Amino acid sequence: MPYDVTLIPGDGIGPEIAAAARRVLEATGVQFDWDVQRAGEETISEMGTPLPPAVLDSIRRTRVALKGPITTPIGTGFRSVNVALRKELDLYANLRPARTYKGVKTRFGDIDLVVVRENTEDLYAGVEHMVTPDAAESIKIITRVASQRICRFAFDYAVKHGRQKVTAVHKANIMKLSDGLFLESCRQVAIDYPQIEFEDRIVDNMCMQLVQKPELYDVLVLPNLYGDIVSDLCAGLVGGLGVAPGANIGYEAAVFEPVHGSAPKYAGQNRADPTAIILSGALMLEHLGELAAAQRVRGALESVLAEGRYVTYDLGGQAGTSEMAEAIVHRVEKG
């Protein structure tokens, strides 16, 4: 039986890289019944919203989605479609692996980190207002329930994937109630996982530690805002957002997507790097239980990156999006 999967191509370069990922995933022999749904800028003029109800209905039905990047205006216009999806579907866990690949330029070597970010509250809850015409206020919301479930997700991930340590990241020395509650919740959950080492770090120190000695860390669990910032820092350690996959996971659904933006100025030019969305597709295969297929996709991609012959311009090559995808497909089919 094929897997029902919602496919959201997205904006800008999204349709091109989504098509590349689809070809690579299908090359594994795993069968998919894709439900293609439009969202983003193109649906605003036609439907009056960047997130039509049909998209949410589809994901609620399939429970799994692969999504391309969608443009979010800065300062004006609609709020992030990504944030809306997470809130509507209660995708409480944002999973961001960061590892180095041979052939991808970086100052660091042999990094293998996983960032687990709480996705539903903190300053991203969107509770803000103008106090006076010259002062705005945002409310930081931290709850025990959300903190415990994201920490449990991090520990469960560590156990399932043979990880050794979980580090909780916070600013409880200053925000003693909100971040203090997050840290307390993580410490309580850690008691249930004696086989996994647990520690905590203050967020500013954590950033310095990651740049100086990232090899000391394994799985990081963070509230929403810190998780957003630190996950991009970790992506920078391994070569940038172009090689950064992502997953948003809840009890009833999961959405897999690259972390980078939609880069509209490169749309339709066959230049965009499909690495991040292909790695996101591999995370999706893992989620579906297709572990061997996921490993074949990663192995094929790693081979193409290491060889450096059929990679896009940002990776130092001259191949287009479709040519890079074809090279990966060829290696996937060879097994």
Q: Which of 180, 190, 112, 195 is nearest to 153 (CA)?
A: 190
* Pairing between β-strand 254-258 and β-strand 64-67 as defined by DSSP bridges: parallel
Do 150 and 113 have their domain in common?
yes
Torsion angles phi and psi, residue 93, rounded to 5: -115, 120
CATH value at residue 221? 3.40.718.10
Q: Both tokens of residue 24?
A: 């690579």
Do 117 and 203 have their domain in common?
yes
Do 50 and 129 have their domain in common?
no
Do 195 and 254 have their domain in common?
no
Q: Which of 17, 39, 41, 3 is nearest to 314 (CA)?
A: 17
Do 177 and 257 have their domain in common?
no
Do 229 and 257 have their domain in common?
no
Helix (H, G, I), strand (E, B) or coil at 187: helix
Q: Read off the DSSP letter of residue 141.
A: B
Domain count, the chain: 2
Three-class HEC string of 66-129: EECCCCCCCCCCCCCHHHHHHHHCCCCEEEEEEECCCCCCCCCCCCEEEEEEECCCEHHHCCEE
- Clarify whether 124 is annotated catalytic: yes
Of 237, 269, 298, which closes a domain?
A: 237
Question: What is the extent of the structural domain holding 202?
Answer: 107-237
pLDDT string in tens for the chain (335-residue length): 899 999 999 999 999 999 999 999 999 999 999 999 999 888 887 888 889 999 999 999 999 999 999 986 554 455 678 888 998 999 999 999 999 999 999 988 889 999 999 999 999 888 999 999 999 999 999 999 999 999 999 999 999 999 999 999 999 999 999 999 999 999 999 999 999 999 999 999 999 999 999 999 999 999 999 999 999 999 999 999 999 999 999 999 999 999 999 999 999 999 999 999 999 999 999 999 999 999 999 999 999 999 999 999 999 999 999 999 999 999 999 87
Do 165 and 223 have their domain in common?
yes
Q: Read off the DSSP letter of residue 238.
A: T
Say which of 102, 192, 204, 251 is annotated catalytic. Answer: 204
Do 132 and 221 have their domain in common?
yes
Do 201 and 175 have their domain in common?
yes
Say which of 3, 87, 101, 171 is annotated catalytic. Answer: 171
Of 237, 260, 278, which closes a domain?
A: 237
Say which of 124, 157, 217, 226 is annotated catalytic. Answer: 124
Do 118 and 173 have their domain in common?
yes
Helix then strand then coil, in percent of the chain rounded to 5, is 45, 20, 35
Say which of 35, 122, 179, 228 is annotated catalytic. Answer: 228
Q: What is the pTM of this model?
A: 0.94
Q: Read off the DSSP letter of residue 267.
A: T
- Clarify whether 134 is annotated catalytic: no
Do 252 and 326 have their domain in common?
yes
Of 237, 261, 289, which closes a domain?
A: 237
- Clarify whether 101 is annotated catalytic: no
| H-run or E-run covering 309 | none
Do 80 and 148 have their domain in common?
no
Q: Which residues pair with 92 in a beta bridge?
A: none
- Clarify whether 112 is annotated catalytic: no
